[in-house]
Structure 1
Amino acid sequence: MEQTWRWFGPDDAVKLPDIRQTGATGIVTALHHVPYGVVWTVEEIEARKSQIAADPTLGLRWSVVESLPIHESIKIGEGNLTPYFDNYRQSLRNLAQCGITTVCYNFMPVVDWTRTELAHPLPGGGTALRFNLHEFAAFDCFMLQRPGADAEFSSETLARATEWYERSSETDRRKLLNNIMAGLPGAYDRYDIPGLRVMLDRYRGIDRDALRANLARFLREVIPTAEEVGIRMCIHPDDPPRSLMGLPRIVSNEEDIAFILDAVDSPANGLTICSGSLGAGAANDVPGIAERFAERIWFAHLRNVAKDPDGSFMEADHLGGDTDMVAVVTTLLEEQKRRKDAGDPRWRIPMRPDHGHELLDDVGKPTHPGYPAIGRLKGLAELRGVMKAVSTLRDLPL
């Protein structure tokens, strides 16, 4: 698999020479400064490519777009969407013209990945990302004051949420809001409480079926263009794979993925397998999902989580959580061999170590939450070892 690394652009605290030291050669990035719904021009794309390739001794290339964001109006299905679809299609054409042909995206309404703690303490002084269901319930019920929110949590969770809220300070509450918003690391807009209420009101009446229909419409609009220009689109699962703030989430399990891939049956309509996002769902068999949809997996996020019975979870070591990472990696390597044997010139699946613990000299550095250098380097080294061992034992191409 091609070893890649997420980079948030020139302002990222992790610099391109640092990335090369990890052993990664592919860069996963986006034009985060371009507002949602606006065309990514050839000039902007080439400028970012030039930044990545400026030092040829590093041997880096822009391998994957993560992500080409979808305007919220498309998800809601409101207003005249033709300009947004036109712009998205033009961005795909421009990316293909520049030689970038793997595009990761998501269809999560309002918020992206969501955590309530960004620095949960680990033994020895490191930190991890964590999602505490009772803290999210406190946010939803008492800070956001969403009507009907309390009906979506158990009595035990509500009791813990009430206790947390009653003893929390204004500083604690501001921190919780900021933590939840931190899951939009490349977002053009973030929300305060009033802004969130406005966004939730826009989604009034959008249930699971309606959101699915809006995603299917998006796919019908853009996948033919992606196929025409050689782009492989790969949707990212919901993180966490559960409803948040009453908003439906529709990329959370095996059934959801099957619906999406069947909605437009094209090789251009593919999947980003994220072992951490799917792994946070108690009912999800992540190795089984990888095996079922292997032929449509174009990108892999490899990380692990340790789940609690109430639905809370924490980012674990890449090989130390609830998901059998060896089984997932084996499936991906076997799929690579199938593609190579079939003559696919793009047989190698790009992968990146997703989310890492904040460790050693990275503690306190201004890196994006979940994206410190050392924790991801540790994860990549572990995953590289698994890949090498499986490849050697099963005679599979790396």
Structure 2
Amino acid sequence: MRMVFRWFGEGNDTVSLDQIRQIPGVEGIVWALHDSPAGEEWPMDRILNIRDQADRVGLHLDVVESVNVHEDIKLGLPTRDQYISNYIRTIEKLAQVSVKVICYNFMPVFDWVRTNLYKELEDGSTALFFEKAKTTDVDPSELVRTIINNGELSMPGWEPERLAHLASLFELYRGITEDDLWRNLGYFLDAIIPVAERNGIQMAIHPDDPPWPIFGLPRIMTSQANLRRFLRLHDSPANGITLCSGSLGANPNNDILSMIHEFKDRIPFTHIRNVRVFDNGDFIETSHRSQDGTVDIAGIVKAYHDEGFRGYCRPDHGRHIWGEKCRPGYGLYDRALGIMYLWGAWDALERVRLQGEKRNPS
């Protein structure tokens, strides 16, 4: 397991590279050009600037999250080929700085969805919260205002320029079905997977967050069956999954341990985080500790260890603790605690393995 840490760039993150490199076992950053609009080709000089910053502190930039997919591609509009060409050129540029994995998603209009960015937990910390009723009884523009007006820091997947045209986006998606979205995703993969193969890059789609339709918009990366269907679209090592335990775990019917065992060879990147799911469908993000949520984090680590996982892992959203002022979900303290919980579980399993080898040498 190779531990990495998401970083949003100088001037756009309260966490510094110097702080990240002090977290035990972290070897690289998960990065992107977050202010680059979806669909635009990434400038090489800016990519090189990030590489130089990472090199200065001895961190690699093997994993990019995300090269966002333009809505015209998801919608299957005639203009999609232009944006796919831009995407391909970005893949080729990222290969030049030794990027190994590109995480992306195929969620219409909204990326991840939460209704409260600072819901208080019993211990006084706050965390990202999803109230299911607010996605059925509320105008989506109200949710947009909640997310993008939270402070000076940008929110990944919630680009104000794109969401300013929310009404027209919803109109474009009127009548778009899950089957349409599958066809448009297949068209996109047909274009990019051969390019990724040639450049030694694994594309890793992120599950929908949460894993069900929102505001009447279709979502398809929601379950084990759908992930299986996705992988069959291109039976290539370059066509993979970012297995996110928090996204998929919001639906208690999802068996994440089974997914790890089935898709083990197609998971180049994993997000490990915990959520507490309530009977009414609400959920709140918690510490990474298994007992604090509904997701069996210790079991997930064991499943990866049993499968000899050698891909990239990052702790996902953390709580906001100890008075830290940070981007919602992306502070230093709780994510660093999460890393140490994951390493503790992994190291204990590794110790048992090594002791077994000593007792039973081959």
Please give the TM-score of this superposition, normalised by the length of structure 1.
0.83
The whole-number CA distance in structure 2 between the counterparts of 1:192 and 1:44 is 22
Instruction: Give 2:98's aligned residue.
Output: 99
The whole-number CA distance in structure 2 between the counterparts of 1:276 and 1:218 is 26
The whole-number CA distance in structure 1 between the counterparts of 2:98 and 2:35 is 21
SS where residue 160 of structure 2 aligns? coil
Matches within 5 A, 1:144-159: none
Instruction: Give 1:312's aligned residue.
Output: 282
Tell me if the contact between 2:125 and 2:321 (Cα under 8 Å) persists in the aligned partners. Answer: yes
Instruction: Give 1:355's aligned residue.
Output: 317
Say what the alpha-carbon RMSD is for the aligned residues.
2.1
Tell me if the contact between 2:147 and 2:155 (Cα under 8 Å) persists in the aligned partners. Answer: no
Tell me if the contact between 2:127 and 2:328 (Cα under 8 Å) persists in the aligned partners. Answer: no
The whole-number CA distance in structure 2 between the counterparts of 1:205 and 1:128 is 35
Instruction: Give 2:181's aligned residue.
Output: 211
Tell me if the contact between 1:115 and 1:179 (Cα under 8 Å) persists in the aligned partners. Answer: no
The whole-number CA distance in structure 1 between the counterparts of 2:261 and 2:203 is 19
Unmatched tracts of structure 2, length 5 or more = 357-362
Kindly state the Cα deviation for residue 34 of structure 1 after the two structures are TM-superposed: 1.8
The whole-number CA distance in structure 2 between the counterparts of 1:191 and 1:316 is 31
Instruction: Give 1:14's aligned residue.
Output: 15
The whole-number CA distance in structure 2 between the counterparts of 1:26 and 1:378 is 17
The whole-number CA distance in structure 1 between the counterparts of 2:188 and 2:303 is 29
Kindly state the Cα deviation for residue 40 of structure 1 after the two structures are TM-superposed: 1.8
C-alpha offsets along residues 48-76 of structure 1, whole Å, 9 cap, x if unaligned? Answer: 1111222xxx3211121001111110001
The whole-number CA distance in structure 2 between the counterparts of 1:187 and 1:249 is 15
The whole-number CA distance in structure 2 between the counterparts of 1:278 and 1:257 is 11
Tell me if the contact between 1:42 and 1:98 (Cα under 8 Å) persists in the aligned partners. Answer: no
Instruction: Give 2:34's aligned residue.
Output: 32
Instruction: Give 2:46's aligned residue.
Output: 44
Instruction: Give 1:387's aligned residue.
Output: 346
SS where residue 208 of structure 2 aligns? coil
Structure 1 residues 192 and 96: CA distance shift in structure 2, 3 A: closer
Instruction: Give 1:326's aligned residue.
Output: 298
Instruction: Give 2:145's aligned residue.
Output: 178
Unmatched tracts of structure 1, length 5 or more = 145-172, 338-347
Q: Displaced runs of 4+ in structure 1, greater than 6 A?
A: 191-194
Q: Which amino acid aligns with 1:289?
A: M
Residue 118 (1) aligns with residue 80 (2): no
Please give the TM-score of this superposition, normalised by the length of structure 2.
0.91
Instruction: Give 1:371's aligned residue.
Output: 330
Identity %: 40
Kindly state the Cα deviation for residue 30 of structure 1 after the two structures are TM-superposed: 0.2
SS where residue 310 of structure 1 aligns? coil
The whole-number CA distance in structure 1 between the counterparts of 2:264 and 2:54 is 30
Matches within 5 A, 1:232-251: 232-251=202-221
The whole-number CA distance in structure 1 between the counterparts of 2:216 and 2:264 is 32
Tell me if the contact between 1:118 and 1:129 (Cα under 8 Å) persists in the aligned partners. Answer: yes
SS where residue 85 of structure 2 aligns? helix
Among candidates 257, 274, 294, match of residue 264 of structure 2: 294
Q: Which amino acid aligns with 2:30?
A: V
* Residues matched between the structures, number: 349
The whole-number CA distance in structure 2 between the counterparts of 1:186 and 1:30 is 10
Instruction: Give 2:360's aligned residue.
Output: none
Q: Which amino acid aligns with 2:335?
A: R
Tell me if the contact between 2:272 and 2:314 (Cα under 8 Å) persists in the aligned partners. Answer: yes
The whole-number CA distance in structure 1 between the counterparts of 2:342 and 2:158 is 32
More helix per residue: 1
C-alpha offsets along residues 96-121 of structure 1, whole Å, 9 cap, x if unaligned? Answer: 12111211000011111111111111
Instruction: Give 1:230's aligned residue.
Output: 200
Residue 335 (1) aligns with residue 307 (2): yes
Residue 134 (1) aligns with residue 133 (2): yes
Kindly state the Cα deviation for residue 322 of structure 1 after the two structures are TM-superposed: 1.4
Kindly state the Cα deviation for residue 42 of structure 1 after the two structures are TM-superposed: 2.8
Q: Which amino acid aligns with 1:9?
A: G
Kindly state the Cα deviation for residue 371 of structure 1 after the two structures are TM-superposed: 0.5
Instruction: Give 2:2's aligned residue.
Output: 2
The whole-number CA distance in structure 2 between the counterparts of 1:245 and 1:196 is 12
Tell me if the contact between 1:336 and 1:349 (Cα under 8 Å) persists in the aligned partners. Answer: no
